[in-house]
Structure 1
Amino acid sequence: MNFDLIALDIDGTLLNDSHILTAAVRDAVREAHRRGAEIVLCTGRGPVNAMPVLEELGLAGTMITHNGAATVDSASRRVLHQFSIDPAEVARFRDYCLQGKLHFDLNTPFEMWIEDLTPDAEKMYGLYGARPVLRDPNAPLPEGLVKFTLFGAIAQLDAVEAEWNAWTHGLQHIRSGDYFIDVQHKDASKGHALRQLASLRGIDQSRVMAIGNYFNDVGMLTFAGMGVAVANSPEAVKAAANALTRSNEEDGVAHALREFALA
């Protein structure tokens, strides 16, 4: 085994476009685990809808969720570390979305709240296995928030992103998928969380492998001794990686593991 710690993004990487874990990918991940690598899902998802993927792999353990804003233990459902954000700072983004009639959700490590549910949003949550809870819009924003997520059409989010880029604020916003913008703590990232976990395990970064496909994966791809981008990644993500593999529709994770980790 060439690596002691292997970080895997879920959507667009581990799963195909139908959100299915193929047998080839599952078997390669299990083989890497059997040979001694710790497998860590490193995802923009929250723990609740990331854990079923980990269970389908037949694994348990530490997961880096919410783009690195919450690191949790899947067995005990314990939060090992989180980057909380001030509700007062989130309020500006919420107000913007309310004025523009844009769909959003509010996340603590294990909870997701919404204030309305459009047919498109309901379909999206179903695809990701998420079960948001409807909250009273007049209630104070929850404490312990780690992520505010905006969902919409690509062109719509392109315009929002351009406008938010001109804002001055103490948070960060990152495109975590074509249809999502995540707002979170300025220090939260998959790369920072993966570095922290490797340090805790006493694993040198040369013994860390990461596979991803989108802009929120760049930090972990550049930290890892071997950062691999799947073929369906944007060009900027490919440029950040050490190597490329096949797309998520072609079992890219399985091919990367067999080429770089299991060889």
Structure 2
Amino acid sequence: MIKCMATDMDGTLLNGKMEVSEENRRAIKAAQAEGVEVVVATGRSYVEARYALDQADIHCPIICANGAEVRDVSGEVIKHSFIEKETATRIFQMLKEMGLYFEVHTAKGTFTDDYEKALDIMVNIFLTAHSEIPQDQIREAAKIRFTKGLLHLVDSYEEIINDEDTAVSKFLAFSFKKEKLDEAKTQLALMQGLAVSSSGSENIEITHSDAQKGIALEQFIREKGITFEETMAIGDNFNDVSMLERVGFPVAMGNANPEVKALCNYVTATNDEDGVAAAIEKLIGVENHENFS
């Protein structure tokens, strides 16, 4: 019997329009009504995750920034694993020297030092899924990150990195050149105490080594008296692997990376086809799991 369900957001719970579909919303609510502990496990900051969930009136605990923060349903921080200041400085200098655009996630919010670049990145990512939508319309939608306070502009990252009262939870670096990201991964591998993953082919996510979804989920369910054998996880990319490889019911999205699919016992529909809802309907409360494909 499944007692806990952990779901990724981007590419999983959210469709290509960055929204929770009505089918997914209803399925989440139905699972909660049956007593299933639903937790969102995302690379997003708490504020960005909460913004999308509020639109769908979904209330649940959230594993944020790949596990750097875990918050209960009321938003209180119950666990955190931040990057040490000296290490954060080294990462910052390395990414700057490589000329990579990146954003800095902290306990106080997410920051960028380049407004136009932040918009360009979001527009390009969105266009890959929705080329039929006019670019200027997509650009206006991307500005919501600023107007809603989901992303803050700073003159320089030094004021964030060097602030002793600001804890860095994640660096999110972007490039549409695979070789640039691979080079960054090689350099990051030389630094101790880090976890490097990705939520898409155009980015890498850098966190403390303890800030991984699987580690955070393990602690979360243990405190609830739930085992991994009673837990289902749904995801689509490499930052989901640490939880997918641990749970008794690992589910890959239809749009998941092929390597991620290979790790899972189950494959559901895509994020634009209400894949989370399909997984919930097939697995939660259904005894004959072999019929799921």
TM-score, normalised by the number of residues in structure 1? 0.90
1:87 to partner: Cα distance: 2.0
RMSD: 2.2
| 1:25–1:253 contact (8 Å) kept in structure 2 | yes
1:211 to partner: Cα distance: 0.5
| 2:181–2:204 contact (8 Å) kept in structure 1 | no
Identify the residue that residue 219 of structure 1 maps to in structure 2. Answer: 242
1:99-140 residue CA offsets vs partner (Å, 9 max, x unmatched): 233211111234112222234546629559643222342436
Identify the residue that residue 132 of structure 1 maps to in structure 2. Answer: 151
Q: Distance in 2 between matches of 1:37 and 1:194?
A: 15
The reply on whether 1:108 has 2:128 as its aligned counterpart is no
1:96 to partner: Cα distance: 2.2
| 2:195–2:206 contact (8 Å) kept in structure 1 | yes
Identify the residue that residue 281 of structure 2 maps to in structure 1. Answer: 258
Identify the residue that residue 246 of structure 1 maps to in structure 2. Answer: 269
Q: Which runs of 5+ in 2 are unaligned?
A: 124-140, 287-293
TM-score, normalised by the number of residues in structure 2? 0.81
C-alpha spacing 1:61/1:180, structure 2 compared with 1 (3 Å): same
The equivalent position to 1:179 in structure 2, one of 202, 209, 231, is 202
C-alpha spacing 1:154/1:21, structure 2 compared with 1 (3 Å): farther
> How many residues are matched?
261
What secondary structure sits across from 1:18 in the alignment? Answer: coil
Q: 1:201 corresponds to which letter in structure 2? A: K
1:121-171 residue CA offsets vs partner (Å, 9 max, x unmatched): 466295596432223424361431111111221435444345336534332
Q: Distance in 2 between matches of 1:87 and 1:196?
A: 25
Greater mean deviation of Cα atoms: 164-173 or 33-42: 164-173
| 1:214–1:233 contact (8 Å) kept in structure 2 | yes
Identify the residue that residue 96 of structure 1 maps to in structure 2. Answer: 94
Identify the residue that residue 72 of structure 1 maps to in structure 2. Answer: 71
C-alpha spacing 1:214/1:129, structure 2 compared with 1 (3 Å): farther
The reply on whether 1:160 has 2:164 as its aligned counterpart is no
C-alpha spacing 1:23/1:68, structure 2 compared with 1 (3 Å): same
The equivalent position to 1:82 in structure 2, one of 51, 68, 80, is 80
Q: Which runs of 5+ in 1 are unaligned?
A: none
1:191 to partner: Cα distance: 0.3
Identify the residue that residue 200 of structure 1 maps to in structure 2. Answer: 223
Q: Distance in 2 between matches of 1:23 and 1:166?
A: 41
Q: 2:232 corresponds to which letter in structure 1? A: M
Q: 1:114 corresponds to which letter in structure 2? A: T
Identify the residue that residue 235 of structure 1 maps to in structure 2. Answer: 258
Greater mean deviation of Cα atoms: 8-17 or 122-131: 122-131
C-alpha spacing 1:88/1:199, structure 2 compared with 1 (3 Å): same
Q: Distance in 1 between matches of 2:193 and 2:102?
A: 19
Q: Distance in 2 between matches of 1:235 and 1:19?
A: 22
What secondary structure sits across from 2:172 in the alignment? Answer: strand
| 2:234–2:244 contact (8 Å) kept in structure 1 | yes
Q: Percent identity?
A: 31
1:261 to partner: Cα distance: 0.8
Q: 1:132 corresponds to which letter in structure 2? A: L
What secondary structure sits across from 1:41 in the alignment? Answer: strand
1:219 to partner: Cα distance: 1.1
Runs of 4 or more consecutive aligned structure 1 residues displaced over 6 Å after TM superposition: none
Q: 2:153 corresponds to which letter in structure 1? A: L
What secondary structure sits across from 1:139 in the alignment? Answer: helix
What secondary structure sits across from 2:218 in the alignment? Answer: helix
Residue correspondence of structure 1 range 18-37 to structure 2 within 5 A: 18-37=17-36
Q: Distance in 1 between matches of 2:89 and 2:174?
A: 17
